[in-house]
Amino acid sequence: MNDEVALVTNDRWMKEVDAQLDDVDRDILREASHDGKLKVRVMNVREMLESMKNEEPQKFKKLKQHIGKQYGHVIKSMDEFEAICSAADGRFKEFEEVSKAMTLSQACQIRVWRIQDRMTWRAVARAAYRDGFFQRQWHPPSNQLLGIALCNKASRFWGEKATEPPWN
């Protein structure tokens, strides 16, 4: 469909109408839609890969080969391909270090924001920034990778995974 554009994110709340989006999330959706001229189809990495595989098989094959060359081996499964495409840059490790200082109280608050308030990862990061978590600042305040790292750490307090329900 020519009047549709895809936005790829593994943040489940970006797909929901009643989710709490950060202003940056709204800006991204607005820009992706070219100020409402295009319909935005929000999909996760797996959905994007499956769509490309079915709708543009040659492009999918080239992408798979290109990524495989970068990682130095043949990608054998869709799970492996998805994991590679979802990998964050080295900054994520920095944010995991920041989140190590998380208290149970902070983890409880993050759980409420993410699950009950249905905040996107960016919105969680901004809320933590606003509330002065870890007595430090990060930029931008709505950093999606930091929001993911915060949810990862908080979910482990309950033996859960931030990539699975009820977190995502």
| Residue 1 pLDDT > 50 | no
CA distance 100 to 44: 27
* pLDDT digit string, tens, across residues 5-32: 989 888 999 988 889 999 999 999 999 8
What is this structure's pTM? 0.69
* Model pLDDT, residue 74: 83
The first and second tokens of residue 168, run together, are 């995502």
End-to-end CA distance of the chain: 28
* pLDDT digit string, tens, across residues 54-107: 999 999 999 888 888 877 778 888 888 887 776 655 677 778 888 888 999 999
* One-letter amino acid of 85: C
* Model pLDDT, residue 90: 61
